[in-house]
C-alpha cells in the first residue's frame, strides 16, 4: 500500500464526521470518476508499428472478441491454417488516406489470444519494405485496418462485409530515403542525413489513475515527428494485467501508429511481486509487444545505427542470452558505427553498483568502445541522469510517472534532474545531438557527442 493512503483515509473520516454532506459530494465525484475510468479503459488502442530483425515493418492491433467465440483461450496460429474460426481482419496499404489507390492488401500472419489478452486478440502483419517502396509514389504510405463482420471459409466477401476500424490522414508510416531500413552505414554522400529518435521509459499507467501527466509528456514527444521511438522498459505497473497493456498502447498510440517502436522489458513487465514472492510473467510481456527477435533481447541495425536491446533479468555472463546478442552486434557492426544500447537500467546510475553492472563495465562496454561510438540508454530510476565514462555516455530517462531520489552513486555523474521529461536524439554520420525536454517543452539538458574518427 502506498504511504499516502492511510493518512488520506483518516483525513476523510475526520472531515466526514465534521461535515456529513462531504460524504455525498465525495460519493458523487467517485461515481463519475469510476464511470470515466471505465470508458477510458475500454477504448481500443490504435495500431502500433515495430520491426522484424531483418528490418521489415510489423504492424499490430487489438480487436475485441465476441462472447460467442468458443476458441478464446490459448490461441496463437497462422491464418492460413484456419480462416473460419474467428472474425477476420486485414490491413490495406495505400497511397492516399481514404484507401482508394491501393498498394497491397495484407492478411495477418499471426493472431495471439490467451490468458494475458483477456477479451481481446492481437493481430500482426509483416510488411516487405522493398515491395512497398516499388509501388508507392512517395515516402508516406497510408494504411487502413478492416474487420470482417462475418467469418467465412476461404476469402470473405470484402465488398459486403468489411468495416474500417482504423484509417484516415493520421495512419501512415514513412519509408526511409535509403532503399531499406537496414543499410550497413550512413551513405558517404549524405552528410546532412539526420535520423530523429524519441526515447523515454517507465510510463507505468494504472487502471485507477487517469494518465494526465503521461499524456502531456507524450504530446511533447509526438511534436518532433521522429523516425524511431525507443522505449526503456516498464510498459506497465503490473505486466500480468491485460488492461494495463491496453492502457500503455492507448498512451503511446498517437506516436506508435506512425513511428516504429523498439523497447526492452522492465522489472514490472516480466516479474510480479507479491507477499509470497516473485512470479515470472515474461509470457505476458511477449504476448503484447511486437519487438524483433524473442522480444526480450535482440540486435538490429536501423538506418546505420546499431541497436542492442538487453533483457533486464537474464544477466551478462558469457553463456547468457544477453551475451549472445552482444556478440551478434560485434560481428555485424563496422568501425566508427553508432551503437545505442537499451536496457532497463544502466551500468552507471545513482543506484548502488550491483553484480550485473560490474560485469557490463568489465566485459561489454570495453569491447563495444573498441569498434564504435556507444550511448547507453536506460530507465528504472525515475529521474533524468547523465553519466560519462571515457567517451561513453550513460543516460537514464525514466521520469514519466513518479520520482526516485537516490544518491548512492555519484561517481562520473554530470547531471541529475528531478523533472518529468523525454529525450530527443538526432543522429548523423559525425555527431549525435541529445536533448532532455521537460513536460512544458523546456530543455533541461542539451549536449553533442562527436563520433570518433
Number of domains in the chain: 3
Cell (9 digits) for 93: 496499404
Q: Is 125 exposed, middle or buried (0-12, 13-18, 19+ CB in 10 A)?
A: buried
**167 and 286 housed in the same domain:** no
DSSP state, residue 17:
H
Instruction: Identify the bridge partners of residue 88 per DSSP, sorted by sequence position.
Output: none
**85 and 116 housed in the same domain:** yes
pLDDT in tens, 383-402: 999 999 998 999 999 887 77
**55 and 158 housed in the same domain:** yes
**What's the Cα-to-Cα distance from 136 to each of 5, 40, 51, 95, 259, rounded to whole Å?**
56, 36, 19, 6, 18
Q: Residue 67 above 90 pLDDT?
A: no
**End residue of a domain, out of 140, 174, 208:** 174
**398 and 353 housed in the same domain:** yes
| 8 A C-beta contact, residue 249 and residue 329 | no
Residues of the chain with pLDDT > 70: what percent? 83
**12 and 75 housed in the same domain:** no
Count of CA atoms in the C-beta half-sphere (13 A) of 192 = 0
Q: Is the Cα dihedral 90, 96, 98, 100 positive or negative? A: negative
**320 and 254 housed in the same domain:** yes
**386 and 416 housed in the same domain:** yes
User: Which residues contact residue 32 at a Cβ distance below 8 angstroms, ignoring those fewer than 6 apart?
Assistant: none
| 8 A C-beta contact, residue 259 and residue 195 | no
Q: If residue 355 lies in a helix (H) or strand (E), which one and from where to where?
A: helix 355-359
Considering the domain boundaries, does residue 288 fall inside one?
Answer: yes
**246 and 281 housed in the same domain:** yes
Q: With H, G, I as helix, E, B as strand and everything else as coil, classify residue 12.
A: helix
pLDDT in tens, 247-290: 999 999 999 999 999 999 999 999 987 766 788 999 999 999 99
pLDDT in tens, 279-324: 899 999 999 999 999 999 999 998 889 999 999 998 999 899 999 9
**400 and 420 housed in the same domain:** yes
Q: How far is Cα 282 from Cα 274, in angstroms, rounded to an integer?
A: 16
Domain with 99, as residue range(s), is: 48-174
**414 and 308 housed in the same domain:** yes
Q: With H, G, I as helix, E, B as strand and everything else as coil, classify residue 363.
A: helix
For range 4-29, the mean pLDDT? 76
**265 and 381 housed in the same domain:** yes
**413 and 306 housed in the same domain:** yes
pLDDT in tens, 339-386: 999 999 999 988 878 888 999 999 899 999 888 899 999 999 999 999
Amino acid at each position: 500500500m502506498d504511504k499516502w493512503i492511510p493518512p488520506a483515509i483518516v483525513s476523510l473520516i475526520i472531515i466526514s464526521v465534521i461535515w456529513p454532506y462531504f460524504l455525498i459530494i465525495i460519493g458523487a465525484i467517485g461515481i463519475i470518476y469510476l464511470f470515466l475510468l471505465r470508458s477510458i479503459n475500454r477504448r481500443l488502442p490504435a495500431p502500433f508499428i515495430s520491426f522484424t530483425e531483418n528490418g521489415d515493418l510489423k504492424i499490430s492491433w487489438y480487436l475485441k472478441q465476441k462472447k460467442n467465440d468458443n476458441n478464446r483461450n490459448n490461441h496463437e496460429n497462422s491464418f492460413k491454417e484456419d480462416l473460419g474460426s474467428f472474425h477476420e481482419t486485414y490491413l490495406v496499404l495505400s497511397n492516399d488516406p481514404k484507401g482508394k489507390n491501393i498498394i497491397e492488401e495484407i492478411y495477418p500472419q499471426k493472431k495471439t489470444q490467451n490468458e494475458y489478452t483477456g477479451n481481446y486478440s492481437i493481430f500482426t502483419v509483416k510488411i516487405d519494405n522493398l515491395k512497398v517502396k516499388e509501388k508507392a509514389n512517395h515516402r508516406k504510405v497510408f494504411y487502413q485496418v478492416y474487420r470482417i463482420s462475418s467469418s467465412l471459409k476461404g476469402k470473405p466477401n470484402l465488398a459486403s462485409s468489411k468495416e474500417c476500424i482504423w484509417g484516415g490522414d493520421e495512419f501512415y508510416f514513412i519509408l526511409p530515403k535509403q532503399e531499406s531500413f537496414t543499410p550497413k552505414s550512413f551513405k558517404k554522400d549524405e552528410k546532412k542525413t539526420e535520423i530523429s529518435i524519441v526515447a523515454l521509459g517507465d510510463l507505468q499507467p494504472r487502471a485507477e489513475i487517469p494518465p494526465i501527466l503521461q499524456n502531456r509528456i507524450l504530446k511533447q514527444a509526438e511534436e518532433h515527428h521522429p523516425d524511431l521511438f525507443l522505449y526503456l522498459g516498464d510498459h506497465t505497473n503490473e505486466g500480468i494485467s491485460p488492461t494495463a497493456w491496453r492502457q500503455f498502447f492507448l498512451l503511446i498510440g498517437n506516436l506508435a501508429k506512425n513511428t516504429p517502436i523498439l523497447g526492452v522489458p522492465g522489472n514490472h513487465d516480466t516479474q510480479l511481486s507479491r507477499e509470497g514472492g516473485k512470479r515470472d510473467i515474461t509470457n505476458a510481456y511477449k504476448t503484447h509487444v511486437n519487438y524483433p527477435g524473442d522480444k526480450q533481447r535482440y540486435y538490429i541495425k536501423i538506418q546505420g545505427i546499431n541497436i542492442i536491446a538487453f533483457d533486464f533479468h537474464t544477466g551478462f555472463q558469457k553463456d547468457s542470452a544477453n551475451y549472445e546478442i552482444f556478440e551478434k552486434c560485434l560481428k555485424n557492426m563496422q568501425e566508427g558505427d553508432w551503437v545505442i544500447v537499451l536496457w532497463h537500467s544502466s551500468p552507471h546510475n545513482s543506484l548502488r553498483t550491483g553484480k550485473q553492472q560490474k560485469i557490463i563495465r568489465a566485459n561489454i562496454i570495453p569491447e563495444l568502445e573498441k569498434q564504435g561510438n556507444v550511448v547507453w540508454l536506460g530507465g528504472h530510476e525515475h529521474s533524468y541522469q547523465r553519466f560519462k565514462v571515457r567517451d561513453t555516455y550513460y543516460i537514464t530517462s525514466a521520469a514519466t510517472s513518479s520520482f526516485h531520489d537516490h544518491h548512492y552513486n555519484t561517481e562520473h555523474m554530470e547531471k541529475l534532474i528531478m523533472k518529468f521529461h523525454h529525450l530527443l536524439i538526432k543522429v548523423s554520420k559525425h555527431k549525435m545531438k541529445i536533448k532532455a525536454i521537460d513536460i512544458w517543452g523546456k530543455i533541461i539538458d542539451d549536449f553533442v557527442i562527436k563520433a570518433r574518427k
